[in-house]
Structure 1
């Protein structure tokens, strides 16, 4: 059993043009090519079959609304429709444009109450907002009110059209000081500020860390900058580490193989693989 906390189906609704992410294609060229080289006649069917074969408990899909910054949208309606069509394995997080102010809060609440989405996705670098920007606090407060979690992009980004500083984990610390009851998954896991993110998670018991969009083997690679995740993630933070493949940035099976090769006690491995995500999702 495992939970994939980050995945994007290979369908047009999830894969529109996003020129601001062009540099990601350069950075992830090697692993993304492994995905495209294996595409069959029906990529969506192959995608679904992969998770069935691997016995995924849940797969988290995330909407995005970047209308005010980059004109890109993966709609809440499309995410909800995919989840309804393909069953309880698939869980959707809402995405709204915080630059819309109160309208964004209304839209988010409707996505949860009416569409059945289970959390909020905040990609601050794509909104050109730091994690603790005042525009985001009404959405964070609504998460608390609705008792749903939020996924917050943390760490650098590889877009050359927005600042890497929008993902600095010190801003997450300030959010948690004001809203300690907010349930947050910080993902990716904070590089190059991994130790700062670990400090935030140690300080705040409602902060989880998602190890997605990074090859798991790097957690055991000297001088990668990720090694501290393995040390703290098998000790004081072992109940708050969450696996994600970030497909199609990396093939799901390859991500799992590299993860299973990490030097983790069996019980801790099972927590990272799925139990921690279930706790974070409130399942």
Structure 2
């Protein structure tokens, strides 16, 4: 049973935002131009035998609201056995952010927090994040974030695994951190940080199987790395079938393949139990 740990069900606000112009170029303009029924996303999952998807809400500074927590909650309620939510918060209002995260996890069953640092132009070591890290630990949910360069035309510095993820993991050793987009061009740094810290993980969103960096694939074949890498797509930018194409050629053992597609996500996102 495959679990996709990074998806978006796109709103029109999300699709129309100027920051996605480069992604439209990469996908040949294939992203939808109208509101998309949630059943379209479920069908995309079905086509690749993806059983459960984690839907991300998206919020940025100055009231930027691309995919709201309320929208994600409604989609999850419509398909509770197929979808789970990752909350977004307003970093500029720390106490409001903590309360929103707490409410979404306790009342709506969200399974984690996702903050995209380049959207805020604040690295994860910024003080705005730290109350949220403490709350994630208390709630028992992961902090999910982006590492590596940015596809949108925004500065990439906030996506460096070293120093940012490394220092957060040192300050909050109990915090589970899931780092999406493999960290390229700093994938070796990302692997080193995941190997160093027991609670740091990598997800493969934004990369098809055939484009995964060699150093990450080699890590997945080690005893440590087998438990550290989670499957993700970044749907709708990459479809599930396209993302998984070539999986048989990776050379993973049956156990490593199961961990990558299912077991690691089920363990890391402990609150997924009610969805799977």
Please indicate, yes or no, whether the TM-score normalized by the shorter chain is above 0.5: yes
CA change 1:53–1:25 in 2 (3 A) is: closer
Q: What is the 5 A alignment of 1:71-220?
A: 71-160=64-153, 162-170=154-162, 171-219=164-212
Shift of 1:246: 1.3
Shift of 1:16: 4.8
SS in 1 for 2:241: helix
CA RMSD of aligned residues (A): 2.2
Residue 275 (str. 1) matches residue 259 (str. 2): no
Q: Decide which moves more: 54-63 or 122-131.
A: 54-63
Gaps of 5+ in 1: 220-225
Shift of 1:4: 1.0
Per-residue displacement from partner, 1:53-76 (whole Å, max 9, x unpaired)? 5443310001111142x7233111
- How many residues align? The count is 269
Distance in 1, matches of 2:41 and 2:103, equals 28
Q: Decide which moves more: 144-153 or 253-262.
A: 253-262
Q: Quick check: 2:208–2:245 contact (8 Å CA) kept in 1? A: no
Q: Decide which moves more: 96-105 or 75-84.
A: 96-105
Residue 259 (str. 1) matches residue 247 (str. 2): yes
Shift of 1:42: 7.2
Distance in 2, matches of 1:42 and 1:137, equals 35
Q: Quick check: 2:7–2:232 contact (8 Å CA) kept in 1? A: yes
CA change 1:91–1:205 in 2 (3 A) is: same
CA change 1:64–1:11 in 2 (3 A) is: closer
Structure-1-length-normalised TM-score: 0.88
Q: Quick check: 1:10–1:44 contact (8 Å CA) kept in 2? A: no
Structure-2-length-normalised TM-score: 0.90
CA change 1:186–1:173 in 2 (3 A) is: same
